Amino acid sequence: MSVLLHLEGLVAGWQQPATRPVELSLAAGEIVGLTGPNGVGKSTVLAAIAGRARVFSGRLTRPAGLRLALQTQDVPPVVGVPLSGRELLALTGASPIGLPPWLADRLDQRLDRLSGGQRHYLALWAVLDTPADLVLLDEPTNNLDRAGVAHLARHLRDLAAGGRGILVVSHDAGFVAAACDRVVTLEPCDVE
Amino acid sequence: MWNELFLLPFLTGLALAIVLPLLGAYLRLRDEWLAALSYAHIAAAGALLALVSSLPPAAGGIGTALAAGAGKRFFAARLSGGASYALLLLGSWSVAVLLAANHPLAERLGHALFDGQLYFADGATLALVAIGGAISLLALRALSRSLLLAHLYPDFFRIRGLRAWPIQLGFDVLAALCLALATMSLGVMGAFALVFIPPWLAFRRAASWRGGLWRALVIGLAAYLGAFGVALWLDQPFGPILALLLVGIGLIIA
């Protein structure tokens, strides 16, 4: 399997370093969990990989032309915007095939008229199913009930089987255990 | 009504009544509806400045609005939250009023620009609006997906290694061009009413983005047709009649 991402002693942050050196490697078809206590810099590492946060030291290597998809904890601002779920998926090039029935039936409703969990999962699905080689997920189980978490774990497995690499930041130990092939745990650092 | 005297103004306004509600939908999506009012004032001030400088007012209005649209991004970091639009609006309003107060010709044109004298539109105005309107519709269609994605997933372009600024700049210039063209015919407030009210109403009821665009278009066209007839019948300036009609429709539907 080809390596999609390699972090070597990576220290990331915003205005100043916010993580300990991180060692991580991720291959195509693999799901890696990134865990650790609150404030340890999990989301910051993800942001650095996506080019949002600063890399202070260490190396971040990924193949040229790698297509990234990123799900952040920010909810897409859809309140007051007449956008249906079907239109959202079409925008990112995601397919509705495979959506759970409780969402597939509501694709033609406005996103701001769905429940928080339904909206979150649809916005997540639009990222997951967009054409990409490496998918970065930041707390994807937020707002999801047990059925949603179970469906997500199964779908991540399907995507990985199709050759995608997936890096998941999550504090949900049960989900990480069910969905991930490996887990990298970040330790608190003194610089925060 | 259908002789040439009224046909040219009617077609000019009709083209704008198609473009402005659609443009307004994207301005509303980006929470930039104040931009419409701002560009309209800038166009008015630019037209008056051109007039007192012995230049064509239409060129002055369009040029000044385009410069503001293109230049806005250079101040975006320091003037966030719509502050740039508020400052541009206040500055251009002040310039326009001062010019009108100190120059007889500017006073006359200033009245026309703020009242919205659509019935003065001639063949040259119609040609300008038709070409500008067609370009704007094509550009909006091309930019639509990117504008929606940039709003929903702000990191989308960065993580794909794509540049977002050409899309933002393109939209800013497009908005400035449309509002400048509209201000010359519909007046400052008539243009703003067509940009603001139809999308505001459409966004409340529509079930989808496409449906929202259609609703905004239908509301804008209906209000325009009504206002054109009423203003002609009562022999009143077009801009205030259009704005009043849209406000009325807004209060009934909302």
Question: What pLDDT is attached to residue B15?
Answer: 97
Question: What pLDDT is attached to residue B158?
Answer: 83
Structural domains of chain A, ranges and CATH numbers in brackets: 3-185 (3.40.50.300)
Average pLDDT of span A134-151: 92
Q: How far apart are CA B192 and CA B106, in angstroms?
A: 22
Query: Which segments of chain B are extended strands (E)?
Result: none
Domain assignments of chain B as residue spans, ordered by start: 4-253
Q: How far is A45 from chain B (nearest CA, A)?
A: 14
Non-local CB neighbours of A164 within 8 Å, separated by 6+ positions: A28, A29, A132, A133, A134, A135
Contact A87 B209 (CB under 8 A): yes
Q: With a cut of 90, say whether residue A24 has pLDDT above it.
A: yes
Pairing assessment for the beta strands A22-27 and A3-13 based on DSSP bridges: antiparallel
Contact A76 B159 (CB under 8 A): no
Closest listed residue to residue B181, CA positions, set B109, B131, B250: B131
Question: B237 by DSSP, 3-state: which?
Answer: coil
Non-local CB neighbours of B231 within 8 Å, separated by 6+ positions: B118, B119, B237, B238, B241, B242
Which residue carries 């928080």 as its tokens? A116
pLDDT digits (tens, 9 = 90+) for B195-222: 999 999 999 999 999 999 999 999 999 9
Count Cβ atoms within 10 A of the Cβ of residue B115 and give its class: 0-12 exposed, 13-18 middle, 19 or more buried.
middle
Question: What pLDDT is attached to residue A73?
Answer: 87
Question: What pLDDT is attached to residue A192?
Answer: 43
As given in the structure block, the two tokens for residue B241 are 């009649």
Question: What pLDDT is attached to residue B81?
Answer: 64
Count Cβ atoms within 10 A of the Cβ of residue B26 and give its class: 0-12 exposed, 13-18 middle, 19 or more buried.
buried
> CATH 1.10.3470.10: does it fit domain B4-253?
yes
Question: What pLDDT is attached to residue B113?
Answer: 83
> Between residues 124 and 153 of chain A, which touch chain B (CB distance below 8 Å)?
127
| B212 near A CB under 8 A | yes
Q: How far is B23 from chain A (nearest CA, A)?
A: 15
ipTM: 0.86
Q: With a cut of 50, say whether residue A108 has pLDDT above it.
A: yes
Q: Could you tell me the CA-to-CA distances from A43 to A31, A47, A73, A186 in Å, in that order? A: 17, 6, 9, 11
- Kindly give the confidence (pLDDT) of every residue in chain B, 254 residues in length, as a single tens digit, with 9 standing for 90 and above: 556 678 999 999 999 999 999 999 999 999 888 888 888 889 889 988 998 898 988 888 889 988 888 887 776 666 666 788 888 889 999 999 899 889 888 888 888 888 777 888 889 899 999 999 999 999 999 999 999 999 999 888 888 878 888 898 899 889 989 988 898 889 889 999 999 999 999 999 999 999 999 999 999 999 999 999 999 999 998 989 999 999 999 998 87
Question: Pick from B152, B160, B208: which is nearest to A82 by CB?
Answer: B208
Count Cβ atoms within 10 A of the Cβ of residue B236 and give its class: 0-12 exposed, 13-18 middle, 19 or more buried.
middle
- Tell me which chain A residues have a C-beta less than 8 angstroms from the C-beta of B208: 82-84, 86-87, 108, 110
| A6 near B CB under 8 A | no
Q: What is the mean pLDDT of chain A?
A: 91
